[in-house]
Every structure is written in C-alpha cells, then in structure tokens.
Structure 1
Amino acid sequence: MLLEYFLFGMMTFHLSGAQNEVTEVFAEAGSQAVLPCKCGPPSARIPAIIWRKDGKSTVWRKQKSGLEYWGYAWSSKTQRVRCPHTMFESGDFSLQIDNVKEEDGGVYSCRVERGVQVIEKTVTLRITRVSVSSSAPIWGSDVSITCNVTPWPLEALVRWTLNDSPFEPQNGAASNTRTAAMEKATGRLTGNWTCVVNYKGQEGRASATLSVQGVIHPPRDDAKVYAAVGSAVTLPCVFSPGLIPSDPVWEKLKPVFLTKPAPGRLPASFSASGPLSPLPSDQSASLKEVGLGDEGRYRCSGVIKGQRLTRNMQLVVAKVHSSVQSQNTGSVTLTCQLTDTGEVTNYEWVHVIYDLKGSRSVGPILEGKTLNISTMSEGNQGEWSCRFYGKDGLLGNVTYHIQQMSGVSGEKPTSVSHNTAATVGLSFLLLVMLLILAQIYKNHQRRKGIFRYPALETIVHTVSNEREERERNAVKKPTRKTSVVG
C-alpha cells in the first residue's frame, strides 16, 4: 500500500514538472529590462502564462484561449510590458519591460501551464541609478554622487569609474561605497560617472554625467599659454555657456608669493577687452606685443551667484638666442629658449623660404633644441622656425630670420660693409650737388627779377657814374696858397 502511494507521488511530481529557480537581473533606470522565463523544449500544447510582481499583483497574463490581460498598474496608454509571441514556439516566455523605473524593482514570478506540466520561475529585478545632487553645480559648491539599486542587494560589491578610469576618492575614503564623492565641485569631478555593482555573479551598471559650471577654458588651474617674443597672444578666460560674470578682474601674480600669490603690475601691452567675442561669458584678455618680462602667472576672476570664481594660468615666453661660433665662416648657433620647459618633450627646426612671387617652400625638418648654420650661405637665407612639442602635440613655435641673427651677433660680411660705405658716399655727393644747383637757381631768379625793368637799371647806373665822377674831381683839384705882405 505504501509502495503504491510512493509511486503515485513520484508520477504526479514528474507529470507536473514543478520547478522554482531564482534569477538576478540588473537594469539601469530608463532602459529595457528582460525577465527570463525559458521552459525547455517546445510543446504542442497551448500554454497559459502569468507574470506577477511581489507574489500578488498581476503584471501580464495570457489564457489558453489566447486572450491577454494587463494588471491595473501596467495597463496605461503607453504599454511598457509585453511577452513576444514569436518566442513561444521555442519555449521562451520572457517578459520585456520598457523604460524601467525605480518602483519596477522587486521580485517577479513566471508561471507557465502546459497541460499537466507547471513551470515556475522567480526573477529579482534590481534597478540601478546614479544620482547627483546637482547635475551642473557651480564651481566650489557642495556636490554628492550616489549609486542607488532598488532593491539594494546585501553584500554587493561597488566600484566607481570616472571617464572610464577607476576613481579614487580623496582623503583616504573607501572606493567601494555607495557614495562616490561628497566634496566641493571642481573640474576633477567633471565627466561621466559609472557605478558598477557585482552580486551573485551578476553585474549592474548605471551612469550619469556631471558638468561643473565655472571657467571652462582654460579647463584647469596653472594651464600654460605659449607665445613668442614680439607676437600677440590671447589669455583665455571663458565661463560656462549661460553664465555672465559680474565684476571681471585680471591680475598678474607676483612670483615671490608661492603659497598666497599677490597681484602685481600688468604688462603695458595688456588689454582686458580680449578678442572681439559677442559672448558675455568670454572674458579673455590679450597682449598686443609679448616681451620677455611678461612671462609669469596671470589670474582672471568673475562673480557668479555671489561667489567669485577664479582661474590661474601661466604665460610661457619663447625666443631664439643666437651666438657666433666662427667670424670667418659666419657659423652661428641658434638655441630655442623658453621661460618654462616643464611640458616640452622635443624640439624641431623648420627652414621656410619665400621667393619673389611670395611662394612659400619648407625645407627638411631638423631635430634638436639647438641648430648650427652658416649665415654666409645663401641656402640658409629666409625664416627659421623652432617648434616645440608636448605629450599631446604642438605647444607653440618661435621664428627668426637669418638677417636678424647676423645683426644680433655683430657679424657683418666684408661685401656688405663695402656696399654700405659706397652708398653713404654717393648719398653725400648727391646732397652737395643738389645744394649747388639750388644756389645757382636762386641767383638766376634774382637776376631775372632785376632785368625786368631796363629803364630803371639805366637810371641807377647813370646816377652811380655821376657820383663817382664828382668824387674823383674833388680829389684832383689843387689847394690855393695865400700870401701875406707885411
């Protein structure tokens, strides 16, 4: 008798095929979640399917007749749940939920009835989301970044990445916490944050973008701006779009104050108006002609929502120094010099030549910080440009002309000196000839003005002649002697 009951129970269990499996599914808020419910090989029997949430509320069900029903909470006009019929033939009764929300997280059950066979599966749906206290905080304001999972899995492992790189919190805080950062907003926190949750072999991810508003260009403090001596340069100071700073101020910082920089005197060619930009968020400045003494640190600032935001930058000045190696051959050494070489990785020299038509040709590229050339060679005439590079590419360049280099070094070829002396002599001779011609012309004009009146000229000569005649007669007339008779 007992054997019959045992065999009957085993047969009933086999026929019903009752099973219960638990599966973990992670989905980011706003994405599509697929809750698996695969029931083995296909069957010719028409199944009855029902999906429930938290063991009570119906999400979706289909009767053997083919009629479908949605639960009250899921029967909105925008249908978010469905169970594709095309998958039924393969025994796949998975549920798809579009645009999942945090309240969709929970435990779901799938029950499939195919004749006397009943299959049940349990799926835990966990919704992941990264929450930021402010998606665009002002520089220096408080900000927090938190990883949320609904429902939260106990003993889950959490790690954070910022811009696809592992994020290490400051001040020695643990990196495997739900909250990645609770600190002042700076450019360090700007970018794409991703929370990665590992639990029971499953991985959930969620991301959020944090954009800190303030000075966006330069993107960081102490960024370097490169300029050649004598050139013009723009010192950038651009605020986030939509931010209009009040009371903008530019300062040059004294180098002697390292911990607390003090403002110094701005260069004479400094202009706070900067480039002609229609954007009020652009408070860039400019130097019309950079001098070697203009190098150093500059600071721009502006008030946003009652808070003064600042950005420091460093102006690096470049020049070419020339030194004579040989007076006979005209050999000169050119050296590319910068006031700060901390970011420079390599140098190169480029020879640029312009012909009479203005066409530009470039010679071979020579590597190195220094260059030895001969100023006597016509092939070296033209422009020499020193380019300097950093790890991210070209930083800047400084140009120099061979004629300028000869003048600085004091070297003057003999032919040039002879030509100069001849030119000076000819110029002096021409000046003397012009003065002589001017005097001749002046005398000619004077005589021409007198001969216009010949009668007057005759009268003048006649009067002059008569006066001279009387004077001569008076001199020739003898003196009479008087005798006295006693």
Structure 2
Amino acid sequence: MPLEYFIFGVITFLLTGAQCEVTEVFAEAGSQAVLPCKCNPLYPFIPYIIWSKANKGTVWRKDRNGLQYWGSSWSPKVTQRVRCPHSQFERGDFSLQINNVMEEDGGVYTCRVEHGAQVVEQAVTLRITKVSVSSSVPIWGNAVSISCNVTPWPHGASVRWTLNNSPFVPQTGIASNRETSKNVVREKATARLTGNWTCVVDYKGKEGRASAALTVRGVIHPSKDDFKVYTAVGSAVTLPCVFSPGLIPSNPVWEKLKPGFLFKPAPGHLPASFSPSKPFSPLPYDQSASLKEVEFEDEGRYRCSGIVEGQQLTRNMQLVVAKIHSSIPSKNTGSVTLTCQLTDTSEVTNYEWVHVVYDLNGTQSVGFIQKGKTLSMSTVTEENQGEWACHFYGKHGLLGNVTYHIQLMSGLSGQKPLGVSHNTAALVGLSFLLLVLLLILAQMYKNHQRRKRIFQYPALETIVHTVSNEREERERNQVKK
C-alpha cells in the first residue's frame, strides 16, 4: 500500500506540476512576517488552501466553499494574528501574514494549494530575530551584554553588529569578545555603548535584522574623560558635571589634580574663585562647578565624582586657559606684536585675529582678519587701535577666543602725532596755572603772618606809620621843587 501511494505521488508531481520549494524568511520579533506562497494564476473558482506548521498542525485553512479555519493556537478569538488576503488570490498569491511575531513562531511552515488535479506545495522557514540586553539601563562601569537571538538558529550564518548605523568595533583587549560567538557582545558600560544596536544576520542570501536601544546612566556631560574646557584669563567659566536625569549622586566632590600623576592623580588645591554647585540646586543631578575669574595658573585637570547606587562615578576634564602676550612697543618705530598663548594647544589647528569695531550705537562689527598665532603691527594708528580678538579653532570648529585692547599713545604713532601733542600742551598749561595759584596763595599767607606780628606792638606800629608818612611828604616836596 505505501508503495502505491509513493507511485501515485510521483505521477501526480509529473502530471500536475506540483512544486515544493524552501524559502527563508527573517522577521524581527514584534513585527509582521509575510510567508510567501505564489504560483501560476489558477481557475476562477476558489481553491483549497491550507497553511500548516511542522509538529504544530494547521495554522490556517480555507475550504472550497469559502469557509476559513484557524488552528487552536492561532484562533482569532484571542487576537487575530494570522490572515491570508483574499484580494491576492486571483493573482495566484496565497501568502500568509503573521502579525506581532514571537520567538515561538519560528519554524518551518508549509503552504498547500489544491485546484482540481493541480497541487502546489511550498515550504517556508520563518526565523525570528531579536536583540536582548542584559540591562537596558546599566550604570556606568557595570558589565553589560547584548545578544542576537535567531529562532531557529541558522547554522553557518554570519553575524555583524552596528551601533547608531555605524559598524561596531569591540574594545581591544577584552577577552570575552574573542572567546564568545559573534552573536554576543560583552563590554563595560560607557557612554560609547549608548544608542541603537542592530544585529545583522546573513544566511543563504537572505538578511535578518533586529534592533534594541541601550542607555547608559552615569555622567552624561562631559560624555568622556579628558574633555577640554576653553576659557580666557579674567573671564568666568563653568566646569560641567551632569549626571543622567533621575540619578542623584551622594557626596559629590570636586578636585583639582596635580600634574605628573598619570595613573593615580593626587588632588591639589582648588582655585580661590572656584565655586561648587549649590547643595539645594533645582536640578540635583547637575553638579557643575564654576570659576568666577579665571587666572592663567588655574589651568589643569579637574575631577568631579559622586556615589550612585553604591558605585563611585567620576569624570576628569581639563581646563585650558588662553591669554594674549604683548611685546614691549618700541618708542622709535611704534611697532606692537601680539601672541595668542594657550596652556594646551593639542587640539588647536589654526588661529585667526579679528579687529572688533564698535559704532556710535554700540553695534559690533568685524574688521581686519589675519591668520596665524602672532599679530604684528609696524605702527599703531587710530585705524588699528581698539579691541583685537584671537579666535582659535579645532577640527570641529571654534574652540574659544581671547581679546586684547590696544591704546594709542604718544611715541607709538608716527602718523598721528598732532592729537597727542595737543593733549600734552594742555596738560603743561594746566600745571603752570596751578603753580602760579600756589605762589599767590603762599605770598598772601606770608603777608598775613607779617601783619599779625606787627599788630602785637601798637607803639611800634605808630612809629612805623609816622616814619612812612614823613618819607612820603619829603618825596612830594622834592618833586615840587
């Protein structure tokens, strides 16, 4: 009897054109999977269609009378996850749609279409891809693993990872990545791992994808150590230290690290103008500090730290201070040289000098622009006096700037000496007038003192007046003669 069925099946295959093809379909967990089942357009009347899963029985069936049936585990009474669109039947498309696929939906499915004596049968392997994270929101420094699961697993498939649409390169020297298969990534949680992880599986020309988001909690700004903060001498600056929203660090501490300690930096003294964050800040996860007036000596490395869930989180940053050094101007030539100086130039790619000009309304405009670290002026004139700003740039744009004010003084300008001489003459004249007034006051005081001494002896005063009158009388008589 079995031999007869086998012979009948072979004859049916040869005479009716029955087909049996295996197709690979990948679908991400939670998405919609479409299992293809296509054949040549059949006769207008309704065929018999049945979808079944290996070892699970019927998934969906449609009889010739048009009635539909679902398997017990696919019943639409709970949620209708399975359907076969009737609108495609006339085109010979009997594909099965499975909504919100789950890992247990993975497996081998069979589509069988009977149309009279013609039988079409196709096999489809549905593989469900899913990315799992050991902890979706790990704390900075904790171990985290990201796994790529495929059900059923395709033996011989290649796996690659992307993070934020860029190929992910594991950290060198982490043994766990070399010892485990490529479908698992094990790393220490850092800001580098934050983003959208995508697992890409290649198998027999088909590609499966699945993604998951990973957020690492800790110090989010700065996002990495050795972050550089640029400022100018005399200005105020903020040293950022912002934890993830919701993380309130206990015992927050700021330190300035002594230079020369690479592995275990020793804390030093904080600057006099240093001001830590307020203990009752409206944003307790923001532990940023500030310096009210930066000095050139305040440059160096700073560290903020706090304890979160029993683990100490730290972030190191570097304060880079800029200033302008001016050469001693020559009284003979009036030349001035300005040099832009930074405590760390490792990120600086170029410098730019800008002459800042203000009009009567206080509106700022940019005048002369010159490239280079040093600005030299052979002669200081009214046109180039005023505010000069040194802008310094890195690979990604402007890093910061520092300004210097040039004053027009006598001896520095050979072109405009007249205005300076007028000021000098006015100053000399004012000094002479003041000297004359002082002499007059001194003489008046001297006369006053003399009269005061005479009034103390009335008889002597009478004799002096009498002698004076007689002398005047003799002089008049001599003139008359």
After superposition, the C-alpha distances for 1:326-380 in whole angstroms (9 at most, x for unaligned) are: 5434222222221111111222122110122212221243222222224522221
Is the counterpart of residue 227 in structure 1 residue 231 in structure 2? yes
**Pairwise mapping of residues 463-482 of structure 1 onto structure 2 (< 5 A)?**
none
Q: How much does 1:165 deviate?
A: 2.4
Q: How much does 1:152 deviate?
A: 1.0
User: 2:63: which partner in 1?
Assistant: 63
RMSD, aligned α-carbons:
3.4
Q: Is the 8 A contact 1:55 1:108 kept in 2?
A: no
Q: How much does 1:226 deviate?
A: 0.3
| CA gap 1:117/1:255 in 2 versus in 1, 3 angstroms | same
Is the counterpart of residue 139 in structure 1 residue 174 in structure 2? no
Distance 2:428 2:210 in 1: 86
**Pairwise mapping of residues 351-366 of structure 1 onto structure 2 (< 5 A)?**
351-366=355-370
Deviates more, 1:248-257 or 1:154-163: 154-163
| CA gap 1:388/1:346 in 2 versus in 1, 3 angstroms | same
User: 1:312: which partner in 2?
Assistant: 316
| CA gap 1:210/1:427 in 2 versus in 1, 3 angstroms | farther
User: Counterpart amino acid of 1:298?
Assistant: Y
User: 1:238: which partner in 2?
Assistant: 242
Does the residue aligned with 1:293 lie in a helix, a strand or coil?
Answer: helix
TM-score under structure 2 normalisation?
0.83
Is the counterpart of residue 334 in structure 1 residue 344 in structure 2? no
| CA gap 1:256/1:24 in 2 versus in 1, 3 angstroms | same
**Pairwise mapping of residues 46-445 of structure 1 onto structure 2 (< 5 A)?**
46-74=46-74, 75-169=76-170, 170-171=172-173, 173-174=177-178, 177-273=181-277, 278-323=282-327, 327-403=331-407, 418=421, 422=425, 425=428, 428=431
User: 2:474: which partner in 1?
Assistant: none
Q: How much does 1:11 deviate?
A: 5.9
Residue identity over aligned pairs, in percent, reads 68
Q: Is the 8 A contact 2:13 2:19 kept in 1?
A: no
Q: Is the 8 A contact 2:353 2:389 kept in 1?
A: yes
Q: Is the 8 A contact 1:38 1:93 kept in 2?
A: yes
Deviates more, 1:154-163 or 1:251-260: 154-163
Distance 2:189 2:429 in 1: 74
Distance 1:82 1:155 in 2: 32
Does the residue aligned with 2:327 lie in a helix, a strand or coil?
Answer: strand
After superposition, the C-alpha distances for 1:109-143 in whole angstroms (9 at most, x for unaligned) are: 11111111111111111111111111110011121
After superposition, the C-alpha distances for 1:308-327 in whole angstroms (9 at most, x for unaligned) are: 11000001111122225754
| CA gap 1:119/1:437 in 2 versus in 1, 3 angstroms | farther
User: 1:17: which partner in 2?
Assistant: 17
After superposition, the C-alpha distances for 1:180-212 in whole angstroms (9 at most, x for unaligned) are: 432321222222211111111211111112111
User: Counterpart amino acid of 1:40?
Assistant: N
Does the residue aligned with 2:90 lie in a helix, a strand or coil?
Answer: helix
Distance 2:322 2:337 in 1: 16
User: Counterpart amino acid of 1:17?
Assistant: G
| CA gap 1:155/1:423 in 2 versus in 1, 3 angstroms | same
Q: Is the 8 A contact 1:158 1:176 kept in 2?
A: no
Does the residue aligned with 2:13 lie in a helix, a strand or coil?
Answer: helix
Does the residue aligned with 1:87 lie in a helix, a strand or coil?
Answer: helix
Q: Is the 8 A contact 2:379 2:412 kept in 1?
A: no
User: Counterpart amino acid of 1:155?
Assistant: G
User: Counterpart amino acid of 2:293?
Assistant: E
User: Counterpart amino acid of 2:262?
Assistant: L
Q: Is the 8 A contact 2:336 2:380 kept in 1?
A: no
After superposition, the C-alpha distances for 1:217-245 in whole angstroms (9 at most, x for unaligned) are: 00100010000111111000000011111
Does the residue aligned with 2:119 lie in a helix, a strand or coil?
Answer: strand
Does the residue aligned with 2:89 lie in a helix, a strand or coil?
Answer: helix
Distance 1:348 1:360 in 2: 17
After superposition, the C-alpha distances for 1:123-172 in whole angstroms (9 at most, x for unaligned) are: 11111111111111001112111111111111211111222222232326
List alignment gaps of at least 5 residues for structure 1.
Answer: 1-6, 443-460, 469-486
Distance 1:32 1:175 in 2: 35
TM-score under structure 1 normalisation?
0.82
After superposition, the C-alpha distances for 1:438-467 in whole angstroms (9 at most, x for unaligned) are: 99999xxxxxxxxxxxxxxxxxx9xx89xx
Q: How much does 1:14 deviate?
A: 3.7
| CA gap 1:354/1:275 in 2 versus in 1, 3 angstroms | farther
User: 1:45: which partner in 2?
Assistant: 45
User: Counterpart amino acid of 2:24?
Assistant: E
Q: Is the 8 A contact 1:292 1:317 kept in 2?
A: yes
| Larger-gyration structure (1/2) | 1
| CA gap 1:327/1:81 in 2 versus in 1, 3 angstroms | farther
Does the residue aligned with 1:219 lie in a helix, a strand or coil?
Answer: coil
Aligned length: 443
Distance 1:245 1:360 in 2: 43
Does the residue aligned with 2:60 lie in a helix, a strand or coil?
Answer: strand
Distance 1:399 1:129 in 2: 56
